[in-house]
Structures are given as C-alpha cells and as structure tokens.
Structure 1
Amino acid sequence: MADEGSELVSIEETVAALATRSQDGQVFGTPVQQGETTLVPVARVRTGGGVSGNRKTRSGGAGTVAEPMGAWVVTSGGAEWRPTVNVNLIVLGGQVAFAAVGVACAIAFRRKR
C-alpha cells in the first residue's frame, strides 16, 4: 500500500506542476498601448505531463511549449489580426526544396549515362 501512496503523490505533484505552468496570461499577453493603438500578443501554448516507472522507482514530469502566433491590433476603427512570420520555417522550406531539386537533377544526369 505504501507504493500506491507514493504513486498518488507523484501524480499529484505532476498535476500541480501543470497547473502552475498553465496560468492566466499565457495565451494572450499583456496588452501594450501606444497612442490610440493597442497590441494584444497571442501565443499557442501546449502543456503536457506524465508519470512513468515501476512500483519502486516512479517519476513524473511536466512541460510547456509556447509559440508566438501574432497580435491583435486594436484601434478606434476596429481590430485587425497580424500573424507572426516564422523565418526559420521559411528557410527550412527553401532548404527542402533545394534538396529535392538537387536529388531530381542527380537522378536525371545519372540516367543519361
């Protein structure tokens, strides 16, 4: 029975860690106002956790990943969504396209021989 108690403590600690990481203000950031324009930053937040191990050695963990998505620009004329630009994703796409062209050229020149 002592093992079940330690298992519950480990699960409770993991859930408590997730609750601590999932606080208010993570998806919508603090609004920033300059003049008549207000910016509200927005992020995608993913939280997860788990417990693993056998009855004698049980461990747990929790983690949070936040990715900026954009910002709402609020003016007297209304609100407008401005998405962020992920430059790393654009560069990766260019590298994959370049590699695909290189492989296609290598196959084409190899067949001509």
Structure 2
Amino acid sequence: MVQIIDYKAYKKENGEEFFSLVVQGGVEAVISRETGRTYLTAKTARVSCTFNETTCQSLIGSSLPGKIVKVEVEPYEFTIEETGEMIQRNHRHEYMSDENAIIAENVNHEMVIE
C-alpha cells in the first residue's frame, strides 16, 4: 500500500501545465553505509496523472494498492536537495500496482523464447 503525500506541477514544451502525484511507501529500516547504524526511511515516487490541481490536492492522504520498487536505469546525475551535492545514480524508484509487482518479480528477463 502506498499513500499520496503531495503533487508536483510541470510545464510541457508548449507551455501546457500537467501534474504528477507523489506517492510514498511504508516505513523501512536500513543501515547507513557511513555509520553502520539503522535508520528509518520511506521510498517515494512520482506518478503521472490526468488530474487537475484541485483533484490532486483532494487526493493527498489517499491510499493506493501497490508498492514502490527500485528500477535500474541508465546512469544520470542527481542533486541531493538537503546538501546540494551532485551524485550519479543508475536507479529510480517507481510505483507499481500489486499485480505488476508480482509479474516483475517472477519474470525471467534473460529467458529467450524461440
């Protein structure tokens, strides 16, 4: 289950505005690489939508079935908002419905069918 926690506005090249919803997964315990101590976090992802701003605002606090998964992508540069540090990443977090997550976890992408 994920929760809608916010929304973001964007502009297309033609100036038209559109929105995405920011969803957050459940609390996870992770171990810091630097200190070795456990801390709590929650993954977030942005999901495109066709809603207007009023609808996006009204959806904050709603829950959706599904989860946020880590997806490998081509390397890209990312700025950490809190520190301004620029790092390189090769993954992103993406929302998946429960059904799609089950399929993704069970499909062997290296298997070739002839």
Question: Do they fold alike, i.e. is TM over 0.5?
Answer: no
Q: Which has the higher strand share?
A: 2
Q: Which has the higher helix share?
A: 1
Is the radius of gyration larger for structure 1 or structure 2?
A: 1
- TM-score with structure 1 length normalisation? 0.28
Higher relative contact order (CA closer than 8 Å, sequence separation 6+):
2
- TM-score with structure 2 length normalisation? 0.28
